[in-house]
Amino acid sequence: MALDYSEPAQALTFLGQLDPGSCRVKIGKELFCVGGPDLVRRCIDSGFDVFLDLKYHDIPNTVAGACRAAARLGVWMVDVHACGGRRMMDAARDAIQGTPRPPLLTAVTVLTSHDQQSLAETGVVGSIDEQVERLTGLAVASGLDGVVCSAREAALLRERFGSVPVLVTPGIRPSGSSADDQTRIVTPAEALAAGANHLVVGRPITRAADPKSALAAIVAELQSAA
């Protein structure tokens, strides 16, 4: 579950209502910039696995240092941008090896806010599917654990790469909820059926009138679809 809050106190109050066994949590850029490593540690100390979603994309040495620091925090998962290339992903992989508890290392392929037009504006030639498949191939070749992609591409990646890469799918929206700023969205049951391993759901829960009930409804949907 994405902790889509702007203040650590809000996030911690919300987590206080939840059983750590019911979900893992994702901390993104806004919340991390305010709460920092201390917030990550408090979430972990409360029993939650943390996906540190900072999408590192820089020169290999810088990304390696950032991934090593994330591993030392004890996070469950960390991500980089696959478009940083093989050398950067190789450096990230090497940096976390040998740490006490290496996190899952995943690579972002194409952001779920992109459509074909906006992707072309960045200079990418070809379809979204082609770019996702290309970047997934780079991540797999670099020995990463998996990729972050839309669940719309999950079935394609399962067909192409089998069960090896972990597929983390943001842009999950229960039926009837707002798409917000996402364009390539699917329901929780559809994502599971397509082969996703980990579903990222944020605003449909955190902005719900009753967030705890919204999370419970999604969990029930996934259990019935399994």
Whether residue 112 is annotated as binding a ligand: the answer is: yes
Which helix (H) or strand (E) segment holds residue 25: the answer is strand 25-27
Whether residue 56 is annotated as binding a ligand: the answer is: yes
Whether residue 180 is annotated as binding a ligand: the answer is: no
Whether residue 205 is annotated as binding a ligand: the answer is: no
Q: Which long-range contacts (CB under 8 A, 24 or more apart) does 214-217 make?
A: 214/174, 215/1, 215/18, 215/22, 215/23, 216/22, 217/174
Whether residue 101 is annotated as binding a ligand: the answer is: no
The burial class, CB within 10 Å (0-12 / 13-18 / 19+), for 83 is middle
**Residue 94 among the catalytic residues:** no
**Residue 53 among the catalytic residues:** yes
**Residue 58 among the catalytic residues:** yes
Whether residue 53 is annotated as binding a ligand: the answer is: yes
Whether residue 60 is annotated as binding a ligand: the answer is: yes
Q: Which positions ≥6 away from 33 have C-beta within 8 Å?
A: none
The burial class, CB within 10 Å (0-12 / 13-18 / 19+), for 121 is exposed
Which helix (H) or strand (E) segment holds residue 31: the answer is helix 29-45
Whether residue 79 is annotated as binding a ligand: the answer is: no
Whether residue 10 is annotated as binding a ligand: the answer is: no
Whether residue 96 is annotated as binding a ligand: the answer is: no
Whether residue 4 is annotated as binding a ligand: the answer is: yes
Task: Report the distance separating Cα 177 and Cα 203, nearest Å.
Answer: 9
Residue among 49, 55, 94, 180 flagged as catalytic: 55
Whether residue 165 is annotated as binding a ligand: the answer is: no
Q: Give me the residue label for tokens 């070809």.
A: 126
The answer to whether residues 3 and 27 touch, using CB atoms and an 8 Å cutoff, is yes
Residue among 29, 45, 58, 94 flagged as catalytic: 58
Query: What are the backbone angles phi and psi of residue 148, rounded to the nearest 5°?
Result: -105, 125
Residue among 38, 45, 49, 53 flagged as catalytic: 53
Whether residue 131 is annotated as binding a ligand: the answer is: no
Which helix (H) or strand (E) segment holds residue 64: the answer is helix 60-73
Residues catalogued as catalytic: 53, 55, 58
Residues making up the annotated binding site for substrate are 4, 26, 53-62, 112, 173, 182, 202-203
Residues making up the annotated binding site are 4, 26, 53-62, 112, 173, 182, 202-203
